[in-house]
Amino acid sequence: MVKMSLDPVQVMSGQVKELKVAPSSNGDSRGSWEEKEEFNQDCLGLTTKPKSPKPENAVTIAVSSRVLFRTEREQKVFEQKGVEEYLRYQIEHENEPFSPGPAFPFVKALETVNARLRELYPQSEELFDIVLVTYNHAHVGIRLINTINHHNLFIERFCMTGGSSPIGYLKAWHTNLYLSADADKVREALAEGIAAATMFMPEKMTEVSESQLRVAFDGDAVLFSDESERIFKAHGLDKFFEHEREHEDTLLDHGPLKGFLEALGKLQKKFYAKGQRLDCPIRTYLVTARSAASSGIRALKTLRAWGLEIDEALFLAGAPKGPMLEKIRPHIYFDDQMFHVEGAAEMGTIAAHVPYGIAQNHNPKKNTSLSK
């Protein structure tokens, strides 16, 4: 089975070219000066960074610095030499940008969607808003800012907790999704009702679209509750099929990532309203081990009753998910079972583990080898 790491330590292929970012205002002036500055930059053909939306209007994605960037060298300094040497190291290297981590392509795709939304709705704040979350001391913020500018990312909101849990801040940000390398913090976020997943870095990565955000979901214990999975684990496959046939008109309860799919659907509809359904830069996928005829109808009826559209649904009837995901090439795939996460990673897919539901009691202890 492919080896993965809780720290995004594997090298991504290729190099990211340094892009120069137009300087922003220092915020000390207002009114006519601000308008004049914008006018002058327009005349010069320059662009200013867009304003961040209000958290209550945005789809907020909180991303740990450990999954957005590769920080394994710094982590070793911290573990081997302690916090003071770690802070000294970060300050000494603050002009050296971090390399991209497993969440990097996903975040770039979010920004691509935002660019399209701003073209269609210049005044709207219904956008993705990215918050960088780190346990680091504020001293490390300079290196993170330098890295963000180096990679031409638009991330204005930081949450540097100095070792404290970020979960309370995530609630204040109205977070729709939290991605982290820390499985304990992910479980803590899920317990507080925040959609969350643990990200891993595969040894190889499939190239993903630069013009369309693709997000793939497992069904049970991800979009839906683990109700049906509990039947399967306790009584076997035949009893599971029987249960699903008897309850095909009974809606499944929601799972931890239903709200994130809803948020994606809300943004998709903004493109549909402008006649861009066939050119929508967001595409969603259901990739489930369920069988279509024997248990798929309940899943589809539940999504329809929720008012949610899924662009593509793959009912695999127990077949491996990795080959299908290799064809989809999602920026991120969510699953509650490490077996499927590892299978996806083996094929080069960035997969995220949702530690929720009955499967957590049955997951084999394979993932002890994932931490290096």
Q: Which residues are catalytic?
A: 218
DSSP-derived letter for residue 81 is H
Strands (E), the chain: 59-64, 128-134, 157-160, 175-180, 196-199, 213-217, 282-288, 312-315, 332-335, 351-353
CB neighbours of residue 170 within 10 Å = 24
Q: What is d(CA 297, CA 242) in angstroms, rounded to the nearest whole number?
A: 13
> CA–CA distance from 131 to each of 15, 40, 107 (Å)?
24, 30, 10
Q: Are strands 351-353 and 196-199 parallel, antiparallel or unpaired?
A: antiparallel
Alpha helices (runs of H) in 44-182, residue ranges in sequence order: 65-68, 72-81, 83-92, 104-120, 141-150, 167-172
Residues 79-90 as b/e (b if ≥16 CB within 10 A, e otherwise) read: eeeeeeebbebb
CB neighbours of residue 309 within 10 Å = 15
CA 118 to chain centre: 21
